Structure 1
């Protein structure tokens, strides 16, 4: 080994996972600060808006009086302490905490604050992988400052820009960083070293590993594997026999903290979609007017999303879910790409005409795929038939 090579130092890899704390709920608490410290659930339709009283105070709906099959989108930490979590049915949540406040979702506000916090992080480092409305990965390997100072600076920038708190986990890879960001919530900052793996990560449940879902966890439990430590000590051959060679090898690696995935700072979306689950099942004929308004609004919001993100697309599709939970999808490819709401509606309406409505509907979605960046070219507004839910005046 040459004298030069013996002095070469490998640059340590630092990956941060930033997760906004109870994001939707926290945004709502900016608007309604008097609810801080209370059990608050976000979800359901828009018919439970706060009411301003004569004295200027607000009256809030509670879970106790909710009727419908909506689900909880998120909840404050106080509500979580009572057992109320995202994706739980609101009626079920009402049995656990009937006096918890219920607020409607406001995704326009959440997207606004999402853009604010990501811009704040980007002002410090551009090496960001967008993972959704409330979380990002950040590659901090090239930072000259001590890593805890950089992470603290990012947290402060996010709070200054939004008034909201976030939790950051820093480790040698994305897998461990994501686990770490959840260890000291809310407003946490966790930096994991190689020596911390067995102490802080191994005692955790295997479900803490992103990629191990309920079915895999159930199979692991049948092998008497419940913690990450037990998974790390399991025979790799036995894991591959049970889960297949690829997933079995992955389980062995992640239990030992091995993850070589890069922080991807740019990727093009494959599709953009909007969908909604109805408060009650809707009939294609008797609820035609209601369905049309929902359908039209979905197409308008989808077009707005495309325009805001600077994309146009050629393939328009629909997604339907019926009362029995069976799902149907249809799509059509246009002669030219578009981001126009009317063009999307007419194309999606063409897809609706190819569906047999044998039951009532519980969900409707619209998507645009085969995306490309919009330029100065004129986009299409294809002359298709009117959609299935349209009135005669709306049909073209």
Structure 2
């Protein structure tokens, strides 16, 4: 019965970079890296052309948010340190992140898919699962129609795999990127899935992958052929059983259409360590900005929260969190800022800061009448917060 399901995984191609190429079409075909701060904003010259920053001129501790396929050919991938990326592709164009634009295009592509079915599981800003079991038409025709609808709505390409389950659909959406349409059946597992590295399975992390390699298991096919007793000896019964199942393409997880967020947060890593006293104005400005953006996220998605928290990472890499539960749930920036400040007062601010974050949890749906918004008061907050050289954090929900 499970094999009769038709589950699609849709993944936007180099999403952030592709959005930027809509804005800067003259960069098409060039290596482009997204992840710079505001100082990476292109300069418009008197003749109307633009001057772009180059990766070789970057100085700081930021990380790559994403890159175009041309930059990836040089070995530059997301989460890589920017300085390392500059060594690999010094002539690549550097652009700042713009999450407001990315969220806009995310809403557009998801709305386009929703014209086919409401059976959609949101997996983040650039990917979704779709249950197409009850959608009429041949899989390839339906997949092509969805892909074209996304292109029409956004001007962007996506890659789709339609398979019997989420496991195979997720793996398959990477097989024919970019702008790919892949159809997988159980008969394709041995030829298309087994030759892939075991780490391609979502759930086999770096540590498990390293351990599998040390045991002589490099591919998904190696895993499928491994003796269950051998896997159980090294991984335990539960994980070994799961490994065997995924190696044979077995996955009965449903597409979960509705899911309630547990929290929403904003955080940012500074390009230089900031001192709570010497950099107080800079820190305080961003602390306020993070609170405002969390409040905007809550209001946009229709939630309020009762627990406000902060996250600090010091120059020693020690990470500290503090939480405060307030009497009434809120999505008001001033109330969030005030509660977050109380959390800050419980942390000795004597060391330089690398990262600052603000979080609201214990969420519930907002009522029909929004709470009154309290104005900010300049002297309301005794403790400083944070201000990055690069404010490019994506909200977590």
Shorter-chain TM-score category?
over 0.9
1:286 counterpart = 2:281? no
Of 271-280 and 380-389, deviating more is 380-389
Q: Work out whether residues 32 and 92 of structure 2, in 8 Å CA contact, stay in contact via their aligned partners in 1.
A: yes
- Name the SS for the 2:328 alignment partner: strand
Distance 2:36 2:288 in 1: 20
Q: Work out whether residues 16 and 168 of structure 1, in 8 Å CA contact, stay in contact via their aligned partners in 2.
A: yes
Q: 1:245 to 1:165 in 2, by over 3 A?
A: same
Distance 2:124 2:69 in 1: 21
Of residues 345, 360, 381, the one that matches 1:386 is 381
- Name the SS for the 1:316 alignment partner: strand
Of 106-115 and 46-55, deviating more is 46-55
- Name the SS for the 2:148 alignment partner: helix
Of residues 32, 53, 56, the one that matches 1:61 is 53
1:263 counterpart = 2:255? yes
Q: Which runs of 4+ in 1 moved over 3 A?
A: 377-385
Q: Work out whether residues 45 and 279 of structure 1, in 8 Å CA contact, stay in contact via their aligned partners in 2.
A: no
Distance 2:14 2:236 in 1: 36
Alpha-carbon displacement from aligned partner over 1:235-286 (angstroms, at most 9, x marks no partner): 2222222222222211111011011110000010000100000111011111
Of 227-236 and 351-360, deviating more is 351-360
Of residues 219, 227, 233, the one that matches 2:211 is 219
1:162 counterpart = 2:157? no
Q: Residue 323 of structure 1: CA displacement?
A: 1.1
Distance 1:11 1:174 in 2: 12
- Name the SS for the 1:47 alignment partner: helix
Q: Work out whether residues 337 and 379 of structure 1, in 8 Å CA contact, stay in contact via their aligned partners in 2.
A: no
1:276 counterpart = 2:268? yes
Unaligned runs of 5+ in 1: 1-8, 391-396
Of 380-389 and 311-320, deviating more is 380-389
Q: Residue 358 of structure 1: CA displacement?
A: 3.9
1:299 counterpart = 2:294? no
- Name the SS for the 2:125 alignment partner: coil
Aligned residue in 2 for 1:337: 329
Aligned residue in 1 for 2:12: 20
Q: Work out whether residues 343 and 380 of structure 1, in 8 Å CA contact, stay in contact via their aligned partners in 2.
A: no
- The RMSD of aligned alpha carbons is 1.7
Aligned residue in 2 for 1:121: 113
- Name the SS for the 2:94 alignment partner: strand
Aligned residue in 2 for 1:393: none
Q: Work out whether residues 150 and 158 of structure 2, in 8 Å CA contact, stay in contact via their aligned partners in 1.
A: yes
Aligned residue in 2 for 1:171: 163
Matches within 5 A, 1:333-372: 333-372=325-364
Aligned residue in 2 for 1:104: 96
Q: 1:281 to 1:152 in 2, by over 3 A?
A: same
Aligned residue in 1 for 2:137: 145
Distance 1:221 1:157 in 2: 41
Q: 1:80 to 1:271 in 2, by over 3 A?
A: same
Of residues 176, 190, 200, the one that matches 1:198 is 190
Unaligned runs of 5+ in 2: 386-397
Q: Residue 377 of structure 1: CA displacement?
A: 5.1
Q: 1:260 to 1:11 in 2, by over 3 A?
A: closer
TM-score, with normalisation over the residues of structure 1? 0.94
TM-score, with normalisation over the residues of structure 2? 0.93
Q: Work out whether residues 116 and 135 of structure 2, in 8 Å CA contact, stay in contact via their aligned partners in 1.
A: no
Distance 1:19 1:282 in 2: 37
Q: Residue 55 of structure 1: CA displacement?
A: 0.9
Distance 1:185 1:49 in 2: 29
Of structures 1 and 2, the one with the larger relative CO (CA 8 A, separation 6+) is: 2
- Name the SS for the 2:47 alignment partner: coil
- Name the SS for the 1:363 alignment partner: strand
- Name the SS for the 1:279 alignment partner: strand
1:82 counterpart = 2:74? yes
Q: Work out whether residues 266 and 358 of structure 2, in 8 Å CA contact, stay in contact via their aligned partners in 1.
A: yes
- Name the SS for the 1:330 alignment partner: strand
Q: Work out whether residues 2 and 164 of structure 2, in 8 Å CA contact, stay in contact via their aligned partners in 1.
A: no
For the pair shown, the structure with the greater C-alpha radius of gyration is 1
Q: Work out whether residues 40 and 103 of structure 1, in 8 Å CA contact, stay in contact via their aligned partners in 2.
A: yes
1:229 counterpart = 2:224? no
Q: Work out whether residues 174 and 261 of structure 1, in 8 Å CA contact, stay in contact via their aligned partners in 2.
A: yes
Distance 1:222 1:145 in 2: 45
Q: 1:366 to 1:107 in 2, by over 3 A?
A: same
